[in-house]
Structure 1
Amino acid sequence: MSAAIQHSLAPAGGKTPEIAIFGTGAAGLCTAMQLKKAGIHSFTIYEKSDGVGGTWRDNTYPGAGCDIPSHLYSFSFEHKRDWSRKFALQPEINAYFEECAEKYDLTRHIRFNTEIASAEFDEDTAQWHIKTTEGEERMADIVVSGVGQLNQPFIPEIAGRDGFKGVQFHSARWRHDVNLKGKRVAVIGNGASAIQFVPEIAPEAAELTLFQRTPNWVIPKADRPYTKLELALFKAFPFLTKIHRAMIYLTLERNFLAFKKDSFFSKLFERQARKELESHIQDPELRAKLTPDYPAGCKRILLSNDWYPAMARKNVHVETNAIDHIGENAVVTKDGTVHPADIIIYGTGFKATDFLCPMEIRGLGGRLINDAWKDGAEAHRGVAVAGFPNFFMLYGPNTNLGHNSIIFMIECQVNYVMQCIEEMMAGDIAWLDVKPEAMTRFNTALQDEIKKSVWAGGCTSWYKTESGKVTNNWSSFTAKYWWQMRKADLENFAKVARSKIKAPARQAAE
């Protein structure tokens, strides 16, 4: 299934909106590529770093890769036929995004090393006033945020952390200049990043202590390099890559059944994971530490072929006692045990529920979006927020997945946003603002559906806030999201005519 829809937009009366895109990850690039395909060039992409790729530029830790097969973790309208393996690693994924940016000549639209501090909507002129962290001010008619959910590394507040005399860093800011060979390494956290880098660094370390809060459900990863014959066939017959992509999509889509409470598929995942654990871990004490006590899918199900072998190494110790504090050269747990450490690596994930932070976004009446989200982030179809006209989010609230490709979801969202832009360009419309009752209706139905899933209870996870509201995950099959997003529900948006606003101060795109 393809989420992409072709758009060809012709401005009404020569009026083309100035569009600001935040971020050059998959979402930002997808938006820019579709704008280019539609013949719109009046956009600027703001990127805080010096390169494209988003999370795939930032996360360069050893073993970094994707848990979605490469032929699906790519744009449906930009097939790459020569992926080297079924699950590509970080360098190849980031190179793909760089190639997309080059092909669509996006670099000239990108302002690198430019971080957004704030954006405020001016209802008199129907423009967004954007400020960078350097104090520069810019303007745009439409803002599309592509910063996603996994861009702000989270490091827990642990007493004594600032007094540690060794080296410490987050996995998303990997210190490649630090030699781990022969060192005592403490890894805090055991999520999706740690499950990839720990097996890579464990053979180097003299000792590696993994501080685990809760164990994960881990199943084998069906990964391997593509054969020369397969690559030759993909090159000679491009339609085969589309068939291959479709088969991957359908296989993964079925896996959503595992996220229903007490489902048969959930039990299948658990049995498969237990079998994998038992085949590698013989020590009963270690096996108990690594066995989850919550339903499969409540936390992210992880894929790995080398996690359990790494846990069974003689130089690896799994510590389940909570951390009390960090000393000058050790991590101390609440039972009083001192764990000497030369290096601390935080595999503690991201501030996933703090959408758009640290940016300050103000809508109608100067209202902060974080005030609108005081009870947990939400948006209409994960894209639009009432009271914030002409502001669209990609990979926004409740659009994350546990079973399929987020690229598919992003394409659905970009298609929706393109239809909103088309509506504005085709008529005398200064701004679109989703109606509060429409957003409430959508999110009430979504949260009711989530209550039937394993995410609603049984464990803590980055999918939900401290109060227990699931703000990150989509509640159903991706096919349902595609069906809802294939046509923008513009009847649920309030529309303000351009004739009712002041003439805006125009600004040419760089």
Structure 2
Amino acid sequence: MADDVHEVVIVGAGFAGICAAIRLKDAGIEDFVMLERADDIGGTWRDNRYPGVAVDIPSVTYQFSFAQKSDWRRVFARGAEVKDYVDDVADRYGIRGHVRFNTEVVDAEFDEDAHRWRVTTADGRTLGARFLISAHGVFSKAKQPDIEGVEDFAGKTIHTLHWDHDHDLTGERVAVIGTGATSVQLVPEIAKRVERLDVYQRTPIWVVPRPDVRVPPAVRRLFGALPPVRWAARTAVSAGIEIAMLLGVTNHTRLPFLVKGIRRLAERHLERQVPDPELRRRLRPQYEFGCKRPALSNDYWRSFTRDNVDLVTEKIQRILPHGIETVDGEVREIDTLILATGFQFLEYDSVPGYPLRGEGGVDLRDWWVENHYQAYEGISVTGFPNLFLIPAPHFATSWSWLVMVESQTRHAQRVISHARRNGASYAGVRPDAQRRFYRAMDTGHEKTLFLDPSCAGSNSYYLDRDGRPSIVRPQSSVTARWRANRFPLDDYELRAG
């Protein structure tokens, strides 16, 4: 085992890693180190800097409950402002001093004799960790399209996760592959300055209006002067989103009409923005609203009515050195190719994104193939002691990522503190506890919208390779938070070293 040994190693310095670090500090644990592959903190908001990037839920809900910001400039904050918030929280809680930048983790293996994780970095160094928190996030690894010739394109290729702000799109012929949430934000921004924009669509996306305005200075001052008012606003907005998602999506079989009502709102939005019925037909999804995460925009659909924007729905045959050929034989020449193809979102080989071997040398990816994609309380896996994954299967509740992160890091904090109080060097979730939780989740999934026949063809990232919505925790965030504070600690087996 390496000499560089710590009580806790945290992989990643995005929101999840920072929250985990704050939880450790609250528990009186200072012997921890954070390994960050980049040269700055911020995760998603450090990496995603494409034009138009912003949160897709109101800013008041996209913040930690213990570090609320009173002066958000817009109802839906732009990416740069969210990054500023990340920086402020990290500085306020003294997190940066624990971070080792430009340090990528490439392997982790549990030492069964020492009850420690052996963590290897890209430069060949090894660290020891009594506990390992893998805060790898969900939008950290780009998903590349499986299209012939994509590597042969002779022009400029940009994936939205790695936007090149030095490249000027003005006057260029540009192609965007993908029509997910990223494309919804990107397309209206770049359509204003390119000569021609071709948007290649495989699966349409539902879009609803985004009520985004600047927050008046008087409101910001009020939130700063009266924290209870700020709390009330956050609670009211959060509750509205939570109830709509919980009743319409998580418990869809009970109240299916709620989703249909929201779909009608989206359909009217499409009719107002796109007068041409044929173009509307091509843009309208054929699956139910909510089967995949919908987007919010006031100008995405309208962008396709511009003279310089074309929607291409024919399947791509191949990418050529100077253009794209579709299956109908048409070739469209372009100068820049933009890949808005998303992320490796909670796929077996992207959680955590590096080989991770537990007891008996079992690789986590192989364990999931054999036992289905599952994790106790959305964070721990039996056979992988002293390990906490953020995120993991059964992680996602109804709304804000940060609410989920707070719950999961609280879970990890409780287990680590429990082990330390009892002089234990090993804390592994019991197989029966994990089976019990998995059965509850699997039963709950049957009520969700995602398994409804109306979701066929949605190409939803909520579904795993077995066709189950395994990332979804079919409960409210309130329940998840309650469980994080109340789950039985004896669901973990403790052993002394």
2:186 match = 197
Moved more, 451-460 or 27-36: 451-460
1:136 match = 125
2:244 match = 255
Q: Out of 19, 31, 34, which is 1:42 matched to?
A: 31
Q: For residues 382-423 of structure 1, give each alpha carbon's deviation from its aligned partner in whole angstroms, at most 9, with x where no partner exists.
A: 11011000000122212235x411111111111111110111
2:378 match = 382
Q: Counting helix residues as a fraction of each chain, which structure ranks higher?
A: 2
**Pairwise CA distance, 1:357:** 4.5
**Pairwise CA distance, 1:356:** 2.4
Task: Check the 8 A contact 2:419/2:494 in 1, yes or no.
Answer: no
* Mapping for residues 53-68 of structure 1, pairs under 5 Å: 53-68=42-57
- Residue identity matched to 1:130: V
Distance 2:195 2:341 in 1: 22
**Pairwise CA distance, 1:178:** 1.1
2:488 match = 489
Distance 1:133 1:487 in 2: 38
Distance 2:16 2:425 in 1: 24
1:470 match = 469
Distance 1:363 1:293 in 2: 43
1:85 match = 74
Distance 2:496 2:282 in 1: 62
Q: Out of 427, 432, 436, which is 1:432 matched to?
A: 427
- Residue identity matched to 1:113: N
**Pairwise CA distance, 1:150:** 1.8
Moved more, 472-481 or 111-120: 472-481
2:416 match = 421
Q: Give every structure 1 segment of 4 or more consecutive aligned residues whose post-TM-superposition deviation is greater than 4 Å.
A: none
Task: Check the 8 A contact 2:352/2:389 in 1, yes or no.
Answer: no
Distance 2:449 2:194 in 1: 37
**3-state SS of paired residue (1:373):** helix
- Residue identity matched to 2:493: A
The share of aligned pairs that are identical, in percent, is 36
**Pairwise CA distance, 1:425:** 1.1
2:286 match = 293
Q: Out of 391, 398, 401, which is 2:394 matched to?
A: 398
**3-state SS of paired residue (2:61):** coil
Moved more, 437-446 or 91-100: 437-446
Distance 1:448 1:333 in 2: 42
- Residue identity matched to 1:417: A
2:108 match = 119
* Mapping for residues 66-105 of structure 1, pairs under 5 Å: 66-105=55-94
**3-state SS of paired residue (1:345):** strand
Moved more, 470-479 or 87-96: 470-479
**3-state SS of paired residue (2:414):** helix
Q: For residues 110-138 of structure 1, give each alpha carbon's deviation from its aligned partner in whole angstroms, at most 9, with x where no partner exists.
A: 00000000111111011111100111011
Distance 2:470 2:324 in 1: 33
**How many correspondences in the alignment?**
482
Task: Check the 8 A contact 2:134/2:352 in 1, yes or no.
Answer: no
**TM-score normalised according to structure 1 size:** 0.92
**Pairwise CA distance, 1:17:** 6.5
Q: Out of 428, 453, 464, which is 2:448 matched to?
A: 453
Q: Does 1:212 align with 2:201?
A: yes
- Residue identity matched to 1:399: F
Distance 2:486 2:97 in 1: 31
**3-state SS of paired residue (1:422):** helix
Task: Check the 8 A contact 2:6/2:128 in 1, yes or no.
Answer: no
Q: For residues 453-501 of structure 1, give each alpha carbon's deviation from its aligned partner in whole angstroms, at most 9, with x where no partner exists.
A: 1212423211122331223222232222223222232221222123xxx
1:363 match = 358
Unaligned runs of 5+ in 1: 1-15, 499-510
**3-state SS of paired residue (2:486):** coil
**Pairwise CA distance, 1:243:** 0.9
1:236 match = 225
Task: Check the 8 A contact 1:419/1:487 in 2, yes or no.
Answer: no
Distance 1:284 1:447 in 2: 41
**Pairwise CA distance, 1:335:** 1.2
**Pairwise CA distance, 1:252:** 0.8
Task: Check the 8 A contact 1:420/1:488 in 2, yes or no.
Answer: no
Q: For residues 144-202 of structure 1, give each alpha carbon's deviation from its aligned partner in whole angstroms, at most 9, with x where no partner exists.
A: 11112221100112111111111112101111111111111100001011100111000
Q: Does 1:346 align with 2:339?
A: yes
Unaligned runs of 5+ in 2: none
Task: Provide the aligned C-alpha RMSD in A.
Answer: 1.4
